């Protein structure tokens, strides 16, 4: 497997574009994106578990009932959630896109991100579609435009792509994603769209995605708030020409590895671009009793406001990490916990057997001043492990969210 460029346009037969159609006031900001495959795709998706679900998710779920789709249309600037006619509007958008692309509305998936609780006017989308379709491209720049069209408070684009082999054929997989605030996914995260030309059945595609998100998007948190519009979509058009993957085996394993490389890459980008973040935190828990305990523990640490602010201040206040392990609900023996901080500037052990050890504050400061920090927790209590991704809590998070609507 190798890392390549090209985002969602890396796999064969996928085109993309992103334009400004007028949902956002700022004309320099793209607000409408489209991803289309030239051949019908197996489709899989996971959705937020928030009981308040964005209307587009309900429509996408309905359109994916047959396990097939061929295009995704996404707007930013308005979440089309908690309003009276959301589903109707989302269906309209799918119809407009289907008409412009010559596809059945049922083969178009819909997603929206932005403010909750305001009516989404579909008119700018209908009017923008001709130029959105006319500008579709299959190159790296086309994927970039699509990635830009789904950004809200994101400060950097999130893209990833890999090449792998299945059934003796070269396959590719690519993704674009967005997410910066309201990030604490439960079964999925804020919008991520993954494309592949690998041939794989809808059932195996959903199996791969559902399994992967437990270890990736569900282990990522910016602010503890699970969005209403979380949605990860994976489309496979089979144009790589490999024998369709219909069961577990070598090819499915290769597919899962490619998928995990893509999703971990997007998770790290989402965490590192958390609203106001200056640092990406990766918490690795090892030697837990069960994988569930490891996950609960890792996620509790990267979610703690006090751990996050300490990391912002480059302060090795490790008692807060122990505290977050203690209240996590994981089955851990707190008297066995070993804890280190690590970054490219070095590593410092701060706690062993649940109690503090002498360490150099100067070294700790140097380690924590870096932009990517590993929080390494060894529970000395079993064989399971897990990793979670998060970011620091900063003045800018408060600033960005103190007056988001205006």
Distance between CA atoms of residues 197 and 222, nearest Å = 32
x/- binding map, residues 128-167, to a second copy, per CB under 8 A? ----------------------------------------
* Shortest distance, position 366 Cβ to a second copy, whole Å: 15
Distance between CA atoms of residues 181 and 401, nearest Å = 9
Q: Per rule CB under 8 A, is residue 319 in the interface with a second copy? A: yes
* Shortest distance, position 357 Cβ to a second copy, whole Å: 10
Among all chains, which residue has been given the structure tokens 């000395």? Answer: 380
Distance between CA atoms of residues 55 and 16, nearest Å = 23
- Does residue 153 have an active-site annotation? no
Give the Å distances, CA to CA, from 142 to 6, 14, 205, 262, 287: 9, 10, 25, 19, 44
User: Which lies closer to a second copy via its Cβ, residue 21 or residue 182?
Assistant: 182
| Near a second copy in 56-115, by CB under 8 A | 79, 81-84, 115
Binding residues for substrate: 152, 178, 189, 275, 401, 406
Q: Per rule CB under 8 A, is residue 404 in the interface with a second copy? A: yes
Catalytic residue among 48, 81, 189, 216: 189
Q: Taking Cα atoms as reference points, which of 356, 373, 353, 375 lies closest to residue 300?
A: 375
Paired strand residues for 116? none
Q: How many residues does the chain have?
A: 406
Q: 3-state DSSP helix/strand/coil percent for the chain, to nearest 5? A: 35, 30, 35
Q: What burial class does residue 223 get, using C-beta atoms within 10 Å of its C-beta: 0-12 exposed, 13-18 middle, 19+ buried?
A: buried
35-43, 288-296, 310-318, 368-376 -> range binding a second copy (CB under 8 A): 310-318
- Phi/psi for 307 (5° steps) reads -65, -45
Binding residues: 152, 178, 189, 275, 401, 406
x/- binding map, residues 229-268, to a second copy, per CB under 8 A? ----------------------------------------
Residue 83: DSSP 8-state: S
Distance between CA atoms of residues 332 and 313, nearest Å = 28
x/- binding map, residues 354-383, to a second copy, per CB under 8 A? xxx---------------------------
146-154, 259-267, 298-306, 341-349 -> range binding a second copy (CB under 8 A): 298-306
Among 8, 208, 325, 368, contact with a second copy (rule: CB under 8 A): 325
- Phi/psi for 232 (5° steps) reads -115, 125
By annotation, the residues acting in catalysis are 189
Residues that bind a second copy (CB under 8 A): 48-53, 79, 81-84, 115-118, 181-182, 184, 186, 223-228, 303-306, 309-310, 312-313, 315, 317-320, 322-327, 332, 334, 351, 354-356, 393-395, 397-406
């Amino acid at each position: 497997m190798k890392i390549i460029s090209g985002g969602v346009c890396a796999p064969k037969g996928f085109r993309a574009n992103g334009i400004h159609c007028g949902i956002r006031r700022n004309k320099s900001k793209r607000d409408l994106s489209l991803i289309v495959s030239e051949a019908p795709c197996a489709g899989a998706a996971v959705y937020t578990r928030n009981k308040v679900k964005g209307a587009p998710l309900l429509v996408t779920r309905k359109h994916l009932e047959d396990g097939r789709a061929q295009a995704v249309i996404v707007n930013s600037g308005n979440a089309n959630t908690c309003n009276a006619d959301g589903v109707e509007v989302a269906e309209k958008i799918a119809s407009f896109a289907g008409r412009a692309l010559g596809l059945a509305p049922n083969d178009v998936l819909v997603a929206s991100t932005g403010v909750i609780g305001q009516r989404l006017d579909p008119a700018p989308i209908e009017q923008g579609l001709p130029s959105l379709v006319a500008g579709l491209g299959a190159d790296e720049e086309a994927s970039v435009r699509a990635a830009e069209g789904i950004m809200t408070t994101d400060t950097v684009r999130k893209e990833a792509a890999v090449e792998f082999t299945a059934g003796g054929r070269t396959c590719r997989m690519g993704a674009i994603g967005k997410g910066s605030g309201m990030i604490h996914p439960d079964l999925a995260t804020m919008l991520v769209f993954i494309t592949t030309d690998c041939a794989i059945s809808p059932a195996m595609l959903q199996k791969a995605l559902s399994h992967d998100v437990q270890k990736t998007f569900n282990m990522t948190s910016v602010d503890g708030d699970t969005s209403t519009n979380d949605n990860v979509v994976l489309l496979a058009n089979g144009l790589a020409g490999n024998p369709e993957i219909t069961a577990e085996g070598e090819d499915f394993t290769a597919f899962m590895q490619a998928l995990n490389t893509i999703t971990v890459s997007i998770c790290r980008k989402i965490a590192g671009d958390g609203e106001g973040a200056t640092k990406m935190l990766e918490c690795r828990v090892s030697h837990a009793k069960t994988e569930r305990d490891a996950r609960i523990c890792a996620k509790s640490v990267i979610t703690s406001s006090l751990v996050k602010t300490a990391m912002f201040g480059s302060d090795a206040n490790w008692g807060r990490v122990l505290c977050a392990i203690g209240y996590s609900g994981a089955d851990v023996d707190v008297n066995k916990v070993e804890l280190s901080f690590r970054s490219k500037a070095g590593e410092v052990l701060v706690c062993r057997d649940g109690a503090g050890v002498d360490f150099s504050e100067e070294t700790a400061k140097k380690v924590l001043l870096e932009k990517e920090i590993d929080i390494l927790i060894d529970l000395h209590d079993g064989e399971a492990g897990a990793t979670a991704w998060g970011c620091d809590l900063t003045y800018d998070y408060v600033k960005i969210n103190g007056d988001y609507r205006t």
